[in-house]
């Protein structure tokens, strides 16, 4: 058995690390120690990991499951997912002392894959914003430039993976919260179809839930391997053909449309436009049929109703949290944006929520009609280069100003939370300062396989694994 150096650990993805452990070339203990050493060396600068879990890691190593990613260090986003015998703060001062005793089904599936959880990651309060700057833990910083955001709400997970602390980490997405941090930090970020993965708990046990839990990673095969490991096999999951997502095969000539048109008509930054055009040319060079064409749908009506449903679900979630805490929140315990959204949600009647759900469903049919003529829709993730920390601060800004700036920075992600479709961010560009630019690929509901096979081609044609931040 040979020693694993820090540089070797940093360069390996999750599949490679699991292979090294399975072959006996290195031990799982040694791999986890590498992860913990990198966490100790870099986390102070990033504020990505908020709860180290050395005892949990030791317990897992003493009885390691023989899964496809056995021995791979892993981090858990501190939002909504119950991971037995850990804190679950959801980034909120109100919940800073909450502990959970049992695993959610998705947590059990992660554990069965063989990963070793070494900590929990930073997240904004209740995952509301596209930046990770909670009052409870403070801002998470991007390892490519610590003056800039890591995205949100899975910012801590994305920053830790980009920094090489772990090769893969839990993430979740209710309006872009997997794709946005993946784009900011140069990672692979798949939001699976609604219902594709095992249940994360009550947050996912809603017929038309916007939120989907999965991972961020550095390689397509890591994402595909984990999707195979945690995919739901119940009758309520989207159908699939039985083939493994991790099995690479020729997708054939796909019809791909792309557009940089924003729902509000605001122009995007020229650097983002240029990255999208280059990515479209790359897709075409791989033999796919590519044309520039926007989705002709009523985005304005969608957004009007999207917020009604989202705020109502926030109220239900906070009601559950209040019962778990055994007390009511005190004045000022919630951040201003949370207070505003709770107030908005409580003002909506059941009838208004039903009307909103019907409108979102109608929007879903509008979007799906376009996918009868294409396999993949391609668009940016962010409308501007990654902003500085503070530009989207949910604590310092008035909620209306935060809304305005978020619409400028993140105009492209929420519609596909509403439709339930799978959407994938790939790090196919960089801006003038060297920061990553994520390009988003959307497929029809249940068609993750199309995204994975296209992603394999793009990763081979335009590799990104060598782009490390200089820590």
pLDDT tens readout for residues 337-355? 999 999 999 999 999 999 9
Confidence at residue 206, expressed as pLDDT on a 0 to 100 scale: 79
Contacts of residue 457, Cβ cutoff 8 Å, sequence gap at least 6: 251, 286
**Which pLDDT tens digit goes with each residue over 89-123?**
999 999 999 999 999 999 999 999 999 999 999 99
Number of domain units in the chain? 1
Q: Residue 383 domain-assigned?
A: no
**Which pLDDT tens digit goes with each residue over 41-73?**
999 999 999 999 999 999 999 999 999 999 999
**Which pLDDT tens digit goes with each residue over 251-291?**
999 999 999 999 989 999 999 999 999 999 999 999 999 99
Q: Assign 147 to helix, strand or coil.
A: strand
Confidence at residue 369, expressed as pLDDT on a 0 to 100 scale: 97
Q: Is 177 annotated in the active site?
A: yes
Structure tokens at 163: 């920094």
Q: Is 77 annotated in the active site?
A: yes
**Which pLDDT tens digit goes with each residue over 71-85?**
999 999 999 999 999
Domain residues for the domain of 455 are: 6-253+388-461
Q: Is the pLDDT of residue 204 over 90?
A: no
DSSP string, 319-383: HHHHHHHTSPPPTT-S-HHHHHHHHHHHT--HHHHHHHHHHHHHHHHHHHHHHTS-SEEEEES-S
CB count in 10 Å sphere of residue 42: 19
Q: Is the pLDDT of residue 1 over 70?
A: no
Confidence at residue 208, expressed as pLDDT on a 0 to 100 scale: 83
- Give the closest residue to 53 by CA, choosing from 96, 31, 86: 86
Confidence at residue 382, expressed as pLDDT on a 0 to 100 scale: 98
**Which pLDDT tens digit goes with each residue over 402-438?**
999 999 999 999 999 999 999 999 999 999 999 999 9
Q: Is the pLDDT of residue 459 over 60?
A: yes
Q: Residue 136 domain-assigned?
A: yes
Q: Is 153 annotated in the active site?
A: yes
Q: Residue 448 domain-assigned?
A: yes
- Give the closest residue to 238 by CA, choosing from 206, 189, 194, 172: 194
- Which domain CATH number covers 402? 3.90.1300.10
Q: Residue 115 domain-assigned?
A: yes
177, 217, 219, 406: the catalytic one is: 177
Q: Residue 78 domain-assigned?
A: yes
70, 77, 311, 425: the catalytic one is: 77
Confidence at residue 3, expressed as pLDDT on a 0 to 100 scale: 86
Confidence at residue 205, expressed as pLDDT on a 0 to 100 scale: 79
| pLDDT (average), residues 156-184 | 98
| pLDDT (average), residues 367-371 | 97
156 pLDDT tier (thresholds 50, 70, 90)? very high
113, 153, 219, 425: the catalytic one is: 153
Q: Residue 292 domain-assigned?
A: no
Q: Residue 237 domain-assigned?
A: yes
Q: Residue 169 domain-assigned?
A: yes
β-pair type (86-87, 73-77): unpaired
Confidence at residue 2, expressed as pLDDT on a 0 to 100 scale: 66
């Amino acid at each position: 058995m040979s020693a694993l150096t820090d540089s070797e650990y940093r360069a390996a993805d999750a599949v490679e690390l699991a292979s090294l452990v399975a072959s006996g070339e290195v031990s799982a203990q040694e791999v986890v120690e590498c992860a913990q050493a990198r966490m100790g060396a870099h986390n102070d600068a990033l504020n990505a990991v908020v709860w180290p879990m050395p005892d949990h890691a030791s317990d897992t190593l003493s009885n390691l499951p023989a899964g496809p990613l056995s021995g791979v260090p892993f981090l858990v986003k501190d939002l909504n997912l119950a991971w037995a015998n850990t804190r679950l703060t959801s980034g909120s001062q109100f919940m800073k002392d909450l502990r959970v005793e049992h695993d959610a089904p998705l947590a059990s599936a992660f554990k069965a894959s063989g990963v070793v959880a070494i900590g929990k990651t930073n997240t904004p309060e209740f995952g509301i914003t596209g930046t990770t700057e909670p009052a409870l833990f403070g801002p998470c910083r991007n390892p490519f430039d610590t003056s800039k955001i890591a995205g949100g709400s899975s910012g801590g997970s994305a920053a830790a993976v980009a920094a090489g602390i772990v090769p893969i980490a839990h993430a979740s997405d209710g309006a872009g919260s997997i794709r946005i941090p993946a784009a900011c930090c140069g990672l692979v970020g798949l939001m699976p179809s609604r219902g594709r993965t095992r249940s994360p708990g009550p947050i996912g046990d809603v017929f038309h839930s916007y939120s989907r839990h999965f991972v961020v990673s550095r390689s397509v095969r890591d994402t595909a391997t984990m999707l195979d490991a945690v995919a739901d096999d119940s009758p309520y999951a989207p159908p699939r053909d039985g083939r493994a997502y991790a099995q690479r095969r020729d997708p054939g000539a796909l019809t791909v449309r792309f557009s940089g048109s924003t729902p509000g008509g605001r122009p995007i930054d020229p650097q983002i436009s240029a990255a999208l055009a280059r990515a479209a040319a790359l897709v075409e060079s791989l033999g796919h049929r590519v044309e520039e064409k926007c989705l002709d749908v009523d985005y304005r009506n969608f957004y009007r109703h999207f917020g009604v449903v989202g705020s109502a679900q926030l109220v239900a979630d906070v009601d559950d949290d209040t019962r778990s805490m055994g007390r009511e929140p005190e004045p000022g315990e919630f951040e201003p944006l949370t207070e505003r959204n709770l107030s908005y949600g409580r003002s909506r009647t059941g009838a208004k929520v039903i009307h909103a759900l019907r409108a979102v469903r109608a929007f879903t049919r509008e979007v799906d009609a376009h996918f009868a003529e294409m396999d993949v829709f391609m668009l940016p993730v962010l409308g501007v280069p990654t902003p500085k920390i503070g530009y989207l601060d949910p604590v310092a800004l008035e909620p209306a100003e935060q809304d305005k700036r978020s619409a400028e920075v993140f105009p492209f992600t929420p519609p596909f939370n509403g439709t339930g479709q799978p959407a994938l961010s790939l790090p196919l560009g960089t801006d003038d300062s060297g920061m990553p630019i994520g390009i988003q690929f959307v497929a029809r509901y249940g068609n993750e396989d199309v995204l994975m096979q296209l992603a394999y081609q793009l990763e081979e044609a335009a590799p990104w694994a060598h782009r490390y931040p200089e820590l």
